[in-house]
């Protein structure tokens, strides 16, 4: 691990749902049965796999005082709205061109966050700027530097991934495999 906060590994558990902790976090933020948080999740029109994931998420969020409305939109509409920052939560398929970390982490450290899906660090965003800056520095000094090595690039990938754990900009939830 490169970050103290990630020293125990992935902090949210794997293959488990901790609704009690989710309720506790929401209650500490003054939400409850009579004061619920509302969000909209946007998924690809006609895609039953995404609809299924969002429906499962919706029922879990509901038990933690979060009401999620599910809306559908066309793929291109989701891309446009994501870049403009017009959505709270969205599902978007991203067919990775090659199995490399830079392909998976490319939206988490950009120089111009206003043009990225995550909008992490864009003007007016609510995301932790210190974490974003740490990701930027790890990328610039360990991956993009003129003297970067395979080892230093791996350090950059590890740091950016751990920062994603802490800020949760992207949550991969489907891993379809097929031969091309």
What does the pLDDT average to over 106-126?
63
Domain match, 43 and 71 both: yes
Domain end position, chosen among 34, 66, 93: 93
pLDDT in the model for residue 28: 97
pTM (predicted TM-score): 0.73
Counting the structural domains of the chain, the total is 2
Report yes or no on 120 lying in a domain: yes
Q: Lowest-pLDDT range, 16-20, 108-112, 129-133? A: 108-112
Edge-to-edge, what's the strand order for the sheet holding 89-90? Answer: 66-73, 37-44, 89-90
- The boundaries of the domain holding residue 67 are 17-93
What does the pLDDT average to over 153-171?
83
Which tens digit of pLDDT belongs to each residue from 1-59? 888 888 888 877 777 888 999 999 999 999 999 999 999 999 999 988 889 999 999 99
Domain end position, chosen among 45, 75, 93: 93
Domain match, 110 and 123 both: yes
Q: How far apart are CA 156 and CA 140, in angstroms?
A: 8
Which tens digit of pLDDT belongs to each residue from 49-72? 889 999 999 999 999 999 999 999
Q: How far apart are CA 62 and CA 68, in angstroms?
A: 7
Domain match, 99 and 129 both: yes
Domain match, 74 and 50 both: yes
**Between these two residues, 143 and 27, which has the higher pLDDT value?**
27
């Amino acid at each position: 691990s490169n970050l103290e906060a990630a020293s125990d590994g992935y902090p949210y558990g794997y293959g488990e749902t901790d609704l009690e902790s989710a309720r506790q976090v929401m209650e500490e933020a003054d939400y409850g049965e009579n004061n619920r948080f509302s969000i909209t999740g946007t998924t690809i029109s006609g895609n039953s796999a995404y609809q299924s994931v969002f429906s499962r998420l919706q029922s879990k969020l509901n038990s933690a005082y979060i009401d999620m409305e599910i809306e559908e939109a066309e793929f291109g509409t989701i891309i446009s709205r994501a870049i403009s920052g017009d959505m709270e939560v969205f599902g978007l398929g991203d067919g990775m061109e090659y199995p490399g970390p830079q392909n998976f982490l490319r939206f988490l450290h950009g120089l111009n966050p206003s043009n990225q899906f995550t909008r992490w660090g864009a003007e007016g965003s609510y995301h932790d700027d210190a974490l974003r800056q740490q990701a930027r520095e790890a990328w610039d000094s360990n991956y993009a530097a003129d003297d970067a090595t395979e080892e230093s690039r791996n350090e950059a990938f590890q740091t950016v991934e751990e920062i994603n754990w802490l800020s949760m900009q992207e949550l991969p939830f489907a891993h379809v495999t097929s031969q091309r």
